[in-house]
Amino acid sequence: MTAAETPVWFISGCSTGFGRALAEAVLAKGWRVVATARDADRVADIVAIDPNRALGLSLDVTIGNEVTAAVAAAEDRFGRIDVLVNNAGYGYQAAIEEGDDVEIRAQFDANVFGLFALTRAVLPGMRIRHAGHIINITSVAGMVGFPGSGYYAASKHAVEGFSDALRTEVAPLGIAVTCVEPGPFRTDWAGRSLKQTPNVIVDYAETAGARMTNTAGISGTQAGDPVRAADAMIALTEQADAPRHLVLGKWGYDAVVKALHERLAEIEAARDTALAADFPEA
């Protein structure tokens, strides 16, 4: 495979965490990467690994003009984008009643609407070539709602639903869609990438308040390894039939499997009520 034939990955949010680990792993494979961050200086060291195979760009996914310009620059440099990884985003915690409207909307702009915009910008090239893979980094919170993370979970559930619909639309065009749902990983998500509205309503102290306190104190102790996660995501793109979901980490896997079994059992238990809601002639 010549340098011009190697896959081109476009990854948002590469300054730290999953995005950085993934960009470095892609380069280690001998492939090409477009590493983006709000400030391109934050990814200069990634580009320095191999300037011929790496392009660093400033990108705030909440700014439409920057999304369009970044995709155009990537395609101009490398000719195409084979894999889009929507990784940019951050956490916000609050009890539902305590949620701050400005913070909630800002999180949705980054986690949801920015992801939508970047996906739309990359899709035309993939559609024309009838090839590509879109990886959306969601979270275990995209499958399970936890106290204190209702708004974060809502943003990730939105991406999961979006991805379900997108997959049905683009599968006939040869484009794969996978959501990656990490549990706790040793990134700075719980530090620099987490915002919290302080718990001030005493009635939520033992639910949302307790979980917010616990989350803020776990940085550096999580079981998940971002480098191993990056390897798993790369392996996804090498599969002939990539899965719709990839839950990462034992804690996350156990939580999602338990929640889905419970949800299915609850739905099946109400089967008679569900079917009785149709017109009799149906």
pLDDT under 50 in the chain at which residues? none
Supply the pLDDT for residue 163.
Answer: 98
Q: Give residue 190's pLDDT.
A: 54
The confidence score (pLDDT) of residue 218 equals: 65
Q: Are 126 and 170 in contact (CB under 8 A)?
A: yes
Among 90, 92, 151, 152, which one carries the catalytic annotation? 152
- The pLDDT of residue 189: 57
The reply to whether the predicted model has a pTM over 0.75 is yes
Write down the domain spans for the chain.
3-275
Q: Is 253 a catalytic residue?
A: no
pLDDT value of position 35: 98
CATH number for region 3-275? 3.40.50.720
Query: In whole angstroms, what is the distance from residue 205 CA to residue 212 CA?
Result: 9
